[in-house]
């Protein structure tokens, strides 16, 4: 299933994150969800929305996990790819 089809069929952008209500906005699981959604948006050509979510995800990872952790580094790489 392509990113566009997934995004349109599942309406994931408009749905509130269940995890966000459960854990709060600054939990590393929220960072993972934001990073995954940003990746889908990037693959579907919605780079402005993807950049915003990568930035939010990166902020969460840096605050909760630290700058030198695998999830943080992955998000940094994803954000770099989206910048071009």
The domains of the chain, with CATH numbers, are 21-83 (1.25.40)
- Helix 28-43 vs helix 47-64: crossing angle, to nearest 10: 160
CA–CA distance, 17 with 76 (Å, rounded to integer): 22
Instruction: Write down the pLDDT at residue 29.
Output: 84
DSSP 2: -
pLDDT of residue 4: 57
pLDDT tens, per residue, the chain with 84 residues: 455 555 555 555 545 456 666 676 777 888 888 898 899 899 889 899 999 999 999 999 999 988 899 888 988 888 888 776
């Amino acid at each position: 299933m392509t990113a566009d089809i997934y995004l349109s069929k599942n309406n994931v952008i408009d749905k509130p994150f269940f995890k966000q209500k459960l854990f709060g906005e600054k939990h590393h699981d929220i960072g993972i969800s934001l990073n995954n959604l940003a990746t889908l948006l990037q693959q579907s050509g919605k780079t402005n929305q993807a950049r915003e979510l990568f930035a939010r995800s990166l902020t969460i990872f840096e605050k909760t996990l630290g700058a030198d952790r695998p999830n943080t580094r992955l998000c940094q790489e994803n954000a770099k790819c989206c910048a071009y």
